[in-house]
Structure 1
Amino acid sequence: MSTRQTRYDEDFKRTLVDLYHNGKTQSALCKEYGVSLTALSRWIKQYSTVETDDGQILTAKQISELQKRNAQLEEENMILKKANCHLHATLEQRLDAIHKLRSQHDVKTLCRVLHVNRSTYYKHFYSEPAPRTNINQQIKVDILQIYTDYDKSIGAYKIRRVLERDYGIAISVGRVYRLMATMDLPKMSTAKPKWKGHHNDNGPCINHLQQAFNQQAPNLVWASDFTYIKVNGKDNYLCVVLDLFSRKVIGWHVASRHDVNLTINTFNKAYENRGCPDYVLFHSDRGSEYTAFSFRQRLDKCNVIQSFSKKGYPYDNACCESFFKQMKREELNRHRYHSLKDLYLSCFEYIERYNSKRPHSSLGYLTPNEVEDLFWARQH
């Protein structure tokens, strides 16, 4: 089995503390969720609340964070006074101030307070320009001239040939491509645009998954959907993200409104829980919560490729549909919820049980956690 240390997020810790205050014993919680008694006791102490003079309710952790933040602000004010840099100080003046104060404060803190990139500081005082830099600058000038002469209709391969033929420069295609990528050259399409299927105001909705639900490794394909749940007669919503390799719920969120914040919060939890992987395929239906510009922009920043089910065709996201069907039958439809917190605790207990204890028929009656543990064990 895998020897990797289990990481618990803030929601997990807070929820166990809530379950403890709702009447569950520490020993029962430790046995059910596989945490040590020492850790659970520390969490209970950490998330104990204290009422301040102005009526605010704060946890011990929040108080510690406020103390750290106050110390940080005091140091920042001290740096600004010592640096003596006015609002419109030049980059040169700020760099000199950082260099003078480097023995009194951490360089990282100085750069942050005075709004200077650390790489800029180190490059300014400690590095010499490489000879290749000057050569690249000259080649960029030649590339720009060639690109202009050919009316922006020539690519890296042909530019390399012209450089060799007309300028006597021996260079690889890869180097030409990298130099062009740094030049932000204007592009001119020479091909007629092709129809790529359904479009909406926020871009194309393409099905990259094509019902390939059985994946060979974790973090290749994630699928997401949300469902409606009644709380005191009003609709509330649960959104989940599944890893299709193990069918594990890697991120979930409950809210009283179904909007783009619901999907963004759920994705953020999944993304952080899985260690911020690159080039994941993220599949969902075409709901406005997933096609919204802010959600697609968030995925783009994380190098996540988006995939969509065919319009009005739930079979393209069958794994999420199946999960919600089982969860409603085994948990949600068996309870009446009076508050969002009641719903949250119910979802928490079911999803933890689903990931770690409930056998899954499509996984050979292993649990999602067992499937992933076996995969990671084989990698060692």
Structure 2
Amino acid sequence: MAANNHTKYDEDFKKSLVSLYQNGKTQAQLCKEYGVSQSALGKWVKQYSTVEMDDGNVLTAKQVKELQKRNAQLEEENLILKKANCHIHATLKQRLDAVHKLRFQHDIRTLCRVLNVNRSTYYKHFRKEPAPRVSENQRIKSMILHIYADYDKRLGAYKVQYILKRDYGITISVGRVYRLMRSMELPQMSTVKPKPACRRTDNGECANHLHQQFSQDAPNLVWVSDITYLKAGGKWYYLCVVIDLFSRKVISWHLSGKADVSLVMTTFQKAYKGRNTPNGLMFHSDRGTQYTAFSFRQLLDSLNVVQSFSKKGYPFDNAVCECFFKYLKREETNRRTYHTFHELHLSVFEYIEGFYNSRRPHGSLGYLTPNEMESAYWGQA
């Protein structure tokens, strides 16, 4: 999606895009997914590009992409063997049945190659035409699987139904989508992860000016913020985000090894600079010590930003941030194990910049994405 004239990119954003390029994504894909120009991305690649392996060897982005492609191929082959519940030395009938069972989840050529079945033999064995309703369900299942994979297994029946109608022109009930997804036995997401204790204290007057008015008429009127905990390599890291209530867009985020006032100030300053120093802004958060700290409150006062706080021990006053962290963990971080800070940082970058802001439909926005919501606004302004 094309970027608007109000977008500025910080160093973390540029370096993260270059890392994705080095990990095998094409410049065309990155430009489309993150809304940057080809010339800007090319400049960033020249500026930041280095690919050094753990053993000290240096590989080109093309070599990295080939390795990743081969790794993905091996993972699919292992998954096929696991789901087929048979091996290459099973009887031909067993292998044919396994190919037929998985034909809408994997390419027929791949299935036949992995299970050592001749394709012509498979087609002759199952040449009977299915009933019209069965054929239609099979066609829809194929589309559901494509959507499911394209959105990295993050969408449920309601959002899949919406995308089927939007992208494929298929109108069916949510119940039918749910039944088809259930019949496909799609892998479930892991959503369990420990939460460390969080201590909150007050520092000065903490008034609530927002009063749960989460729907705003324009960008840069109200920003909300919060901090959550993510683990990598046996160590806790802290993610601070700033969200614009108008579009639900994460306009700034920062990961740090310390949950201190510096984390909050850095995240806010990135948002403030990236949104062209807006006037008449309200900033809402909980009463964490990072937000009530004198240095941060002094910063907001110097910029004429009205500071608002949730009621003590009442997370519903900051529900938008709470929901975002729920989606982030359920759809991304709880599904993965991170060995390094860099792995965690790149995963959060891909989720926020490559999925949440640009591709995830939001029910509260009429199933627009945050970027689409803002583009529509700026296009009319």
Paired residue for 1:205?
Answer: 206
The amino acid of 1:337's aligned partner reads: Y
Q: Of the candidates 354, 360, 363, which is equivalent to residue 361 of structure 1?
A: 363
Q: What stretches of structure 2 of length at least 5 have no aligned partner? A: 51-200
Matched, 1:331 2:332: yes
Matched, 1:30 2:31: yes
Paired residue for 1:217?
Answer: 218
Matched, 1:295 2:299: no
Paired residue for 2:144?
Answer: none
Once the two structures are TM-superposed, the CA of residue 368 in structure 1 deviates from its matched residue by 0.8
The aligned runs of 1:12-31 (5 Å cut-off) are 12-31=13-32
The amino acid of 2:356's aligned partner reads: Y
Task: Give per-residue Cα distances to partners, 1:73-105, cap 9 Å, x unaligned.
Answer: xxxxxxxxxxxxxxxxxxxxxxxxxxxxxxxxx
SS of the residue 1:7 aligns to = coil
Distance 1:26 1:275, change over 3 A: same
Is the Cα contact below 8 Å between 1:2 and 1:377 reproduced in 2? no
Is the Cα contact below 8 Å between 2:3 and 2:35 reproduced in 1? no
How many angstroms apart in 2 are the aligned matches of 1:360 and 1:291? 31
Task: Give per-residue Cα distances to partners, 1:214-233, cap 9 Å, x unaligned.
Answer: 11111111100011111122
How many angstroms apart in 2 are the aligned matches of 1:292 and 1:258? 12
How many angstroms apart in 2 are the aligned matches of 1:374 and 1:22? 32
Task: Give per-residue Cα distances to partners, 1:148-189, cap 9 Å, x unaligned.
Answer: xxxxxxxxxxxxxxxxxxxxxxxxxxxxxxxxxxxxxxxxxx
Matched, 1:270 2:271: yes
Paired residue for 1:280?
Answer: 281
The amino acid of 1:34's aligned partner reads: G
TM-score (norm 1): 0.57
Higher alpha-carbon deviation: 203-212 or 31-40: 31-40
How many angstroms apart in 2 are the aligned matches of 1:292 and 1:5? 30
How many angstroms apart in 1 are the aligned matches of 2:221 and 2:7? 21
Paired residue for 1:235?
Answer: 236
Once the two structures are TM-superposed, the CA of residue 340 in structure 1 deviates from its matched residue by 1.2
Paired residue for 1:244?
Answer: 245
How many angstroms apart in 2 are the aligned matches of 1:251 and 1:344? 14
The amino acid of 1:319's aligned partner reads: V
Q: What stretches of structure 1 of length at least 5 have no aligned partner? A: 50-199
Is the Cα contact below 8 Å between 2:242 and 2:271 reproduced in 1? yes
Paired residue for 1:372?
Answer: 374
SS of the residue 1:253 aligns to = strand
SS of the residue 1:249 aligns to = strand
How many angstroms apart in 1 are the aligned matches of 2:281 and 2:37? 33
How many angstroms apart in 2 are the aligned matches of 1:357 and 1:201? 38
How many angstroms apart in 1 are the aligned matches of 2:269 and 2:215? 24
The aligned runs of 1:1-380 (5 Å cut-off) are 4=5, 6-48=7-49, 202-352=203-353, 353-379=355-381
Is the Cα contact below 8 Å between 1:213 and 1:319 reproduced in 2? yes
SS of the residue 2:374 aligns to = helix
Paired residue for 1:164?
Answer: none
Once the two structures are TM-superposed, the CA of residue 6 in structure 1 deviates from its matched residue by 4.2
Is the Cα contact below 8 Å between 1:255 and 1:340 reproduced in 2? no
Is the Cα contact below 8 Å between 1:209 and 1:307 reproduced in 2? yes
Is the Cα contact below 8 Å between 1:239 and 1:262 reproduced in 2? yes
What's the C-alpha RMSD, in Å, of the aligned pairs? 1.9
Aligned-pair identity in percent equals 65
Once the two structures are TM-superposed, the CA of residue 298 in structure 1 deviates from its matched residue by 1.1
Distance 1:250 1:3, change over 3 A: closer
